[in-house]
């Protein structure tokens, strides 16, 4: 261990690490010794020389070290295999029999900073977000093959944040034979076709599974408006729950085509969904108020803190339109997946929208991440999905 590169923190800067936070910012570092190459494993010490832990360096990033352990131990295949098993036990217990598509590893939330692995039946999709995990890609491919025996592992590291790590975007087959353009998954009795090569994110919005399912129970005989529908995840659940009429809005042609196919795939022949391609902000304005349930699941508007004021205006506008469109006693399922939008602010925005729409609104439930997207409590930055279920009187 003595030969590992190391950083020593400025006095007092060890507090977040002692409380379990996995990130060390470059501004906290007093001294660096040894070769801190991107992705290199090394140690971190407090200003008074106390060993704090071992992690992965990236001197090109503002986050100079991502901690993997606070113990003196060797970070080898059995160490990472242990983390993988710990993550898998959670999913096995919580999701078995409900779906064959879920997040296997959720980065910091599973104590593997920068690594995302999603499972779609026999196919795994891997995303390396840091130089550290980029170096360990081969090791994780071996571990995943041994543990899951997948048909394929496909990489979807085509995310802009890789540039902040000094890495190019990457996408392609990592293991197995060439994969099909799309294949079927199952989620609480619904079937969906997923395209991991070209689809958004790693192919499907796994994080909304439980929230989609919750719609099945309240949709019977209802008229639904699904805004930002992507491939129709929420809508299909409402269809299976017996919805009477479904209107869907998305700006992506491919997403709407897929959504249409999903009605046939799920034998929902009695419903002919009304598909509208366009900007949901505009389309919602043009609709007549007549809906029992409105779903708002927009893309993240605030990826950076500086975007918050504009994002807040966007959320306010959408929620205002949703309240305008809801019938008396109608339900709103409203979400934000912006990292910088906390629940408190989101609730204030929805409240302001209700006031402007002249509706009296009850909060029925708060919604968030499913269990395959765990958040390390020491790392609240990992929480991003905020949702509310409201009834408008
Ligand atoms: N609810 C979906 C996920 C939604 S993701 C599910 O459960 O699977 C957000 C969607 O918003 C994407 O499909 C994207 O194409 C769409 N989108 C982005 N900007 C939009 C806009 N201004 N108007 C309509 N749709 C938009």
Ligand 1 atom nearest 298 alpha carbon: 9
170 & 225 share domain: no
- Tell me how far the alpha carbon of residue 283 lies from the centroid of ligand 1, in angstroms: 13
Residue 130: Cβ-neighbour burial (10 angstroms; 0-12, 13-18, 19+): buried
- Tell me how far the alpha carbon of residue 249 lies from the centroid of ligand 1, in angstroms: 8
**Residue 303 confidence (pLDDT):** 82
- Buried b / exposed e over 90-101, threshold 16 CB at 10 Å, is ebeeebeebbeb
- Domain hosting 350: range is 205-392
Q: What is the CATH number of the domain that holds 134?
A: 3.30.750.80
pLDDT in tens, 196-237: 999 989 999 999 999 999 999 999 999 999 999 999 999 999
Look at residue 51 and tell me whether its pLDDT is greater than 80: yes
87 & 139 share domain: yes
Residue 130 and residue 159 in contact, taking contact as beta carbons nearer than 8 Å: no
In angstroms, the CA 199 to CA 196 distance is: 6
- Among protein residues, the one whose CA lies closest to atom 22 of ligand 1: 279
Round the average pLDDT of the chain to a whole number and report it: 96
Instruction: For residue 66, give every residue at least 6 positions away whose Cβ sits within 8 Å of its Cβ, in sequence order, or none.
Output: 22, 23, 24, 55, 56, 58, 113, 114, 130, 132
118 & 51 share domain: no
Look at residue 2 and tell me whether its pLDDT is greater than 70: no
- Among protein residues, the one whose CA lies closest to atom 1 of ligand 1: 229
Ligand 1 atom nearest 299 alpha carbon: 9
Share of the chain above pLDDT 70, in %: 99
Look at residue 1 and tell me whether its pLDDT is greater than 70: no
Look at residue 194 and tell me whether its pLDDT is greater than 90: yes
- Tell me how far the alpha carbon of residue 191 lies from the centroid of ligand 1, in angstroms: 19
Q: What is the CATH number of the domain that holds 359?
A: 3.40.50.150
CA angle, corner 231, sides to 230 and 233, nearest 5? 95
pLDDT in tens, 100-142: 999 999 999 999 999 999 999 999 999 999 999 999 999 999 9
Pull the structure tokens for residue 82.
């242990």
Give the residue numbers marked as catalytic.
337
47 & 114 share domain: no
Instruction: For residue 108, give every residue at least 6 positions away whose Cβ sits within 8 Å of its Cβ, in sequence order, or none.
Output: 22, 114, 376, 379, 381, 382
- Tell me how far the alpha carbon of residue 228 lies from the centroid of ligand 1, in angstroms: 3
Instruction: For residue 264, give every residue at least 6 positions away whose Cβ sits within 8 Å of its Cβ, in sequence order, or none.
Output: none
256 & 327 share domain: yes
Q: Is residue 195 part of a domain?
A: no
- Among protein residues, the one whose CA lies closest to atom 7 of ligand 1: 233
pTM of the model: 0.95
Based on the structure, what is the number of domains in the chain?
3
Ligand 1 atom nearest 231 alpha carbon: 8
- Tell me how far the alpha carbon of residue 294 lies from the centroid of ligand 1, in angstroms: 14
Share of the chain above pLDDT 90, in %: 94
166 & 210 share domain: no
59 & 162 share domain: no
Look at residue 186 and tell me whether its pLDDT is greater than 90: yes
For ligand 1, residues with CB inside 6 Å are: 200, 205, 208, 212, 228-231, 233-234, 249-252, 255, 279-281, 297-299
257 & 275 share domain: yes
Residue 81 and residue 136 in contact, taking contact as beta carbons nearer than 8 Å: no
Look at residue 18 and tell me whether its pLDDT is greater than 70: yes
Q: What is the average pLDDT across 167-171?
A: 95
In angstroms, the CA 197 to CA 190 distance is: 22
pLDDT in tens, 261-272: 999 999 998 899
164 & 265 share domain: no
**Residue 304 confidence (pLDDT):** 84
């Amino acid at each position: 261990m003595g030969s590992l590169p190391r950083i020593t923190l400025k006095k007092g800067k060890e507090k977040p690490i002692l409380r379990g936070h996995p990130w060390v910012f470059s501004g906290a570092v007093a001294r660096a010794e040894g070769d801190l190459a991107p992705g290199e494993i090394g140690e971190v010490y407090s200003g008074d020389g106390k060993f704090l832990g071992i992690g992965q360096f990236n001197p090109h990033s503002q986050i100079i070290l991502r901690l993997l352990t606070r113990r003196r131990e060797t970070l080898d295949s059995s160490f990472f295999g242990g983390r993988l098993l710990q993550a898998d036990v959670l999913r096995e217990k919580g999701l078995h029999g409900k779906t064959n598509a879920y997040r296997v590893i959720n980065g910091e939330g599973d104590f593997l900073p920068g690594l995302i692995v999603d499972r779609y039946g026999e196919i795994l999709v891997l995303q390396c977000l840091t130089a550290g995990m980029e170096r360990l890609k081969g090791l994780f491919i071996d571990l995943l093959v041994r543990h899951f025996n997948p048909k394929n592992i496909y990489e979807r590291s085509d995310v802009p944040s890789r540039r902040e790590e000094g890495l190019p975007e990457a996408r392609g087959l990592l293991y197995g034979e060439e994969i099909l353009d799309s294949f079927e998954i199952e989620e609480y009795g619904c079937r969906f076709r997923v395209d991991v090569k070209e689809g958004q994110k790693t192919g499907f919005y796994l994080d909304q599974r439980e929230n989609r399912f919750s719609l099945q129970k309240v949709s019977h005989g209802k008229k639904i408006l699904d805004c930002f529908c992507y491939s129709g995840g929420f809508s299909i659940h409402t269809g299976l729950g017996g919805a009477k009429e479904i209107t869907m809005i998305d700006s992506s042609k491919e997403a709407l085509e897929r959504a249409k196919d999903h009605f046939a795939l799920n034998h929902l022949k009695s419903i002919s969904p009304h598909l509208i391609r366009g900007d949901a902000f505009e389309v919602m304005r043009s609709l007549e108020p007549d809906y029992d349930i409105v779903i708002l699941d927009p893309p993240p508007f605030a990826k950076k803190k500086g975007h918050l004021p504009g994002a807040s205006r966007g959320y306010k506008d959408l929620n205002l339109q949703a309240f305008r469109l809801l019938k008396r006693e109608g339900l709103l399922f409203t979400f934000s997946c912006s990292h910088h939008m906390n629940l408190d602010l989101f609730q204030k925005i929805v409240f302001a929208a209700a006031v402007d729409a002249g509706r009296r609104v009850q909060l029925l439930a708060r919604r968030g991440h499913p269990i395959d997207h765990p958040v390390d409590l020491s790392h609240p930055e990992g929480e991003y999905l905020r949702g509310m279920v409201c009834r408008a009187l």
